[in-house]
Chains A and B, each alone.
Chain A
Amino acid sequence: MGVTLDHYMALSALLFCIGLYGALSRRNAVAILVAIEIMLNSVNIALVAMSRYIGGQGMISGQMFAVFIITVAAAEASVALALLIAVYRTRGTVNADEINLMKW
């Protein structure tokens, strides 16, 4: 039952598609953010698995990219939630299909 790179890549693809489905199908903005975090996590799994199975000694670019993705995800979450609270104050809703001021 040796686990290969393909196992991790398949899991990563599955997680990414679950996140994609959630981001497209939910109405609540917090739920959309939850789905986006799942997608970011799936990419991290792929990068770390690549780093483990393909990278040689001292080649840790995959893990390094994962570290930077986690940093950017933290920044993204804080700004997105601040935006969400600002929108809730002015419009009283966080449903994505009711925030349609800029929709033509």
Chain B
Amino acid sequence: MPAGAEATVDIAQGLGFYVFAGAVAIASLMAVTLRNIFHAVLLLIVSFVAVAGLYLTLDAAFLAMVQVIIYAGAIAVLMLFALFLTRNAMTTGNAGGRLQLSAAITGLMMLCLFLYTFVNTRWASGPATPPAFSPDTLADALFTTYLLPFELASVVLLVAMIGAIVLVKD
């Protein structure tokens, strides 16, 4: 790849990162602080889609699609349904609990701890040019190295499905 094209890719990745990271941070912050819980779930969908964009800047196209389909498609709709089925939640709103202040302090302390750790960590350096991931590579690993976890995941999903049905059955 010529140097000019590489620089263009670099700038595109940087721009994409800052745009999507800002969107994710703002949407998530609003989702946990807004009083209207319906708006909070809608902002959660925005955050999920922006995370999919972040995956695209990381060359993980397959994961980006999975993120949009499962998170923004399935989980968010599930949450909206639960919201409508527990209707009084809509009227009483999303008031903060008594733990508001201590929760904020805990979060800030955790953030400081994380950032301190990251600053003082020397990551193992990877290859200079990142490998190109394709869904083929992912599928190869999924059906060879990770075959047992793959089969177990299907059992987990089956158990969760049956459990959900049994729980809401009268």
Contact = CB atoms under 8 A, between A and B. Distances in A.
Interface of A: 1-3, 5-11, 13-22, 24-28, 30-31, 33-35, 37-38, 41, 44-45, 48-49, 51-58, 60, 63-64, 66-68, 70-79, 81-86, 88, 92-97
Nearest to B165: A82
Most chain B CB atoms below 10 A, which of A28, A33, A55, A96: A28
Chain B interface mostly: helix
Nearest to B105: A21
Contacts of A75: 156-157, 159-160
9 contacts: A14-B25, A26-B32, A44-B63, A49-B58, A51-B58, A56-B126, A58-B137, A60-B141, A63-B62
B167 A79 contact: yes
Contact of B28 (A3, A38, A81, A95): A38
A36 B160 CA distance: 18
A34 B29 contact: no
Given A30-B82, A96-B97, A24 B118 contact: no
Main SS at interface, chain A:
helix
Q: Chain B interface residue count: which class? A: 35 or more
B20 to A, nearest CB: 9
A72 B124 CA distance: 28
